[in-house]
Chain A
Amino acid sequence: MTFWGSLVYDLFPLIWSGMITGCLYALGALGLVMIFKCSRVVNFSHGNVAGLTAFLVYGLSSGVLMSLSWGAAVLLAMLAAVAIAFLIYSIISPVVFESDLTSTIATLGFGLIAQGVTLLVFGADIVALDLPIPRFAMSVLGLLVTGYDLTVLVVAIVTIGALFIVIDYTKLGIAFRAISENPFAAEVCGLNLKSVHYFAWITAAILGVIGALLIVPTTFLSVTTVATFMLQAFAAAVIGGFASLPGALFGGILVGVMMNLFTFYVSPEYSSTFLLGVILVALNIFPNGILQKVGGARV
């Protein structure tokens, strides 16, 4: 009883909460993959920009900058994220078509600037940023399900569902897929590469903000919180193959569950080292992403 009892008692809640955070890693990873798929750039500024916008929500709603309602603050922060993504892509777009390595390095520059601006405006203090959600908890089949869990689940399903509908059924989504598949042919057919790239960068920024806002209540908000959260997103993207959106979703949930089990059963102090190991192993076993092996080549 003791071993199996504790296993069931610990294991299911751990997997459940891992899946919840995994959905958030997936949101981050989807943004990274969208940008990589069409513009071949790895956006290393993703975490820092999302962190900056999370701080903006805090600043606008708590009275540090303004004291707006939470909804208005989120709306303004979203607009800021869109503007920042637009600006970043506008500045590096001439480099993007020349060398994906150089443009990847350039995104690190934006990451540094976003980090510095966060430090300059909000300082290095740790702040708490909560979501205005009903606090309740209920027990479902022995699992403790909180209002936060349900909020995350609903938001993630709605966002990811909307994203997949846009990519699968709208003209913009078809253009996105065409450009990811073969940019030259897509351009010959009359598609504007830049406008589709803008779509990917802006969508990724919005996904990043949503992910950042939802992850913050579980810990706290500091300059590094969201940037380290994005390492999980990177690991998720690598597990998914970095060029597959369903892979990123699957990888995110997998990373969430594995991280939770690792921190509980082994040690919370080696979480980055564990992720490094996960990335190395994943690259060795599934070089093209975990879903590639199961489903064969995607056409």
Chain B
Amino acid sequence: MSNHATHITPDQSVFTRLSGVATPGATAGIVLTALIVMPFMLGGSWTFTLGLCFANSIGVLAVSLLVRYGGEVSIGHTFFTALGAYSVGVLDTRYGISLWASVPLSLLLGVCFGILFAWPSRNLHGIYLAVTTLALALAVPEMINNFDSLTGGYEGLYVATPLIPGVSMGMQRYYVALVMLVIVCFAVARLRLSRQGMALLLAKTHPAAADAFGTRRVWARISIMGISGGIGALCGATLAFSGSTVSPGGFTFWQAIFLLVGSVVSFYGLSLPRVLLGGAFVTLVPQLLSASGAWIPVFYGLALLGMILLGHYMPRIRKAMSRNSEVS
């Protein structure tokens, strides 16, 4: 990498030069500034869609975090998003309590249930967690529809209590989602630098070494699922507020897989621009392809496979190309 930064040869494209100059922090800053001024330039429907993008980005981040720090895959994160969304929805419609109370509650619930579902497979190979989450994803719509006295069944709930009274609801739905996304991204970036984050990564890559340093693998696996579940619940809470409705259609098995696809498409990235890419993919593709519904799974499947094969072959192609350029 240092070669790229120091010797910029004339034949390199503008893009690589720019990417050599821009640090991750600067890129995130530019993206963030653009997003803050966005509502003043776009129409209401685009502002709404962008709010949903931010909310889904948080969900994508939750899935990516589990892959990166835990080395495990979840195809049932709709359980956590549903948990967060319904705690916001139920508190709002039944008791008129705004986000100030429901967001901490959903975070707490998400962490607790994450730990609960990671517990049985704590000593086992990572695939057991994946199978558990598969069952979780299929059970979610069933639970929502059967607790219809609380969740409103198929009709769902409408979230209308503002966070700050007096400010236009459209603006709130946008900026709350943006602020949540920024907070979560910042917290995840801090986790990477913290002692706990290092311990989690060590437990993933070198379990024996982590054991020797006092980080038990079981602890690492359970806590990362707890963190990921908590972030998933925050995604749901944001979805409920920004999307204004909470209904079972948003928490199907396919939605859970789409979150994973978004995570793969962003190459399991944890930085703000990367998760935005994943969130935008999850939100915008169904809207763009809404006229031809059956193509959505095909497209998602192809995108998933394409990214995985790209991730597999790209380093090889790059190596072959650099070898060629050395020869010539």
A and B bind: yes
Residue ranges of A at the interface with B (Cβ–Cβ < 8 Å): 36, 42, 44, 91-92, 94-95, 98, 100-102, 104-106, 108-113, 115-117, 119-120, 228, 231, 234-235, 237-238, 242, 269-273, 275-276, 279-281, 283-284, 287
A109 / chain B contacts, CB cutoff of 8 Å: 261, 300-302, 304-305, 308
Counting contact residues on chain B (CB < 8 A from A), the size range is: 35 or more
* Structural contact, A101 and B297, CB atoms closer than 8 A: no
* Structural contact, A273 and B142, CB atoms closer than 8 A: yes
A113 / chain B contacts, CB cutoff of 8 Å: 297-298, 301-302, 305
Contact of B72 with A by CB under 8 A: yes
Q: Which of B277-321 contact A (CB under 8 A)?
A: 293-302, 304-305, 308-309, 311-313
* Structural contact, A101 and B73, CB atoms closer than 8 A: yes
* Structural contact, A272 and B142, CB atoms closer than 8 A: yes
* Structural contact, B135 and A110, CB atoms closer than 8 A: no
Please give the distance in Å from B70's CB to the nearest CB on chain A.
Answer: 10
A92 / chain B contacts, CB cutoff of 8 Å: 308
Q: Mark B119-132, 1 if CB is under 8 A from A, else 0.
A: 11101101110111
The tally of CB-CB contacts under 8 A between chains A and B is 133
A111 / chain B contacts, CB cutoff of 8 Å: 257, 301
10 interchain residue pairs of minimum CB distance: A112-B301, A116-B298, A109-B304, A116-B297, A119-B294, A113-B301, A283-B120, A276-B135, A109-B305, A272-B139
Residue ranges of B at the interface with A (Cβ–Cβ < 8 Å): 67, 71-73, 75, 117, 119-121, 123-124, 126-128, 130-132, 134-136, 138-139, 142-143, 145-146, 257, 260-261, 264, 293-302, 304-305, 308-309, 311-313
Main SS at interface, chain B = helix
* Structural contact, A116 and B296, CB atoms closer than 8 A: yes
Answer whether A101 and B300 are a contact pair too, CB < 8 Å, given A273-B142, A280-B120: no
* Structural contact, B264 and A101, CB atoms closer than 8 A: no
B123 / chain A contacts, CB cutoff of 8 Å: 287
* Structural contact, A104 and B135, CB atoms closer than 8 A: no
* Structural contact, B139 and A275, CB atoms closer than 8 A: yes
- Cβ 8 A contact of A108, one of B143, B260, B313: B260
B297 / chain A contacts, CB cutoff of 8 Å: 112-113, 115-116, 119
* Structural contact, B294 and A116, CB atoms closer than 8 A: yes
* Structural contact, A42 and B131, CB atoms closer than 8 A: yes
Assembly CA distance A106 to B131 (angstroms): 15
- Cβ 8 A contact of B308, one of A106, A115, A275: A106
Q: Which chain B residue has the least Cβ–Cβ distance from A102?
A: B308
Answer whether A273 and B143 are a contact pair too, CB < 8 Å, given A44-B75, A110-B301, A116-B297: yes
Sample of 30 A–B contacts (CB below 8 Å): A42-B127, A91-B309, A101-B71, A101-B126, A104-B127, A105-B264, A105-B304, A105-B308, A108-B257, A108-B261, A109-B261, A109-B300, A112-B300, A113-B298, A115-B301, A116-B294, A116-B296, A119-B293, A119-B297, A228-B138, A231-B138, A234-B134, A238-B131, A269-B146, A270-B142, A270-B146, A271-B142, A272-B139, A273-B139, A275-B138
